[in-house]
Amino acid sequence: MENSDSVDFLLVQVCRLHYQRAHELLETINLYRGQPPVLHLLYQQEGMTQTELAERMQVTPATINKMLQRMEKNGFVERRPDPEDQRRSRVYLTEAGRAVQGQVRAIFRKIEAETFSGFSGEELSQLRAYLERIRNNLAQSSSVSSALQSE
């Protein structure tokens, strides 16, 4: 049973609300919550294979495949056969995929402004330090620790 007075419970609520707000705003531009990182990776380096994207995002190839299917349907990415190995395909941004980058950045700036409205610079600095400590505490006991600490 959850203790609604606990800090842990509050942190879960904050994460859930942040996730929901991001989903709500990203949906307005036909993106789902996990897709902006794919766009960002491809914006930095187009032509990665599905396997390379999965490894970089630390998700399964099946998860990436589902994301790419949705992103292709919405016109943000396209898969093309690898010229050297026809069994593989490489993923590229479309013009729409490049164009949406600015909207994605604006959405995340909006979420950040909403989330931290009314916080002073000093409060944000303290919050950052607390969150880094929390992340480090969890990472020490987690199998995904190296991935989160390198972000």
User: Per-domain residue ranges for the chain?
Assistant: 7-117, 119-151
Q: What secondary structure, in 3-state letters, does the chain show?
A: CCCCCCHHHHHHHHHHHHHHHHHHHHHCCCCCCCHHHHHHHHHHCCCEEHHHHHHHHCCCHHHHHHHHHHHHHCCCEEEEECCCCCCCEEEEECHHHHHHHHHHHHHHHHHHHHHCCCCCHHHHHHHHHHHHHHHHHHHHCCCCHHHHHHC
pTM recorded for the entire structure: 0.78
Residue 62 pLDDT > 50: yes
Residue 20's pLDDT band (cuts 50, 70, 90) = very high
| Of 109, 75, 108, residue with least CA distance to 92 | 75
Q: Per-residue pLDDT tens for 81-134? A: 988 888 899 999 999 999 999 999 999 999 999 999 999 999 999 999 999 999
Average pLDDT over residues 31-38: 92
Looking at the chain, the whole-number percentage of residues with pLDDT higher than 70 is 93
Per CATH, the architecture of 7-117 is what? Orthogonal Bundle (1.10)
Please give the pLDDT value at position 144: 60
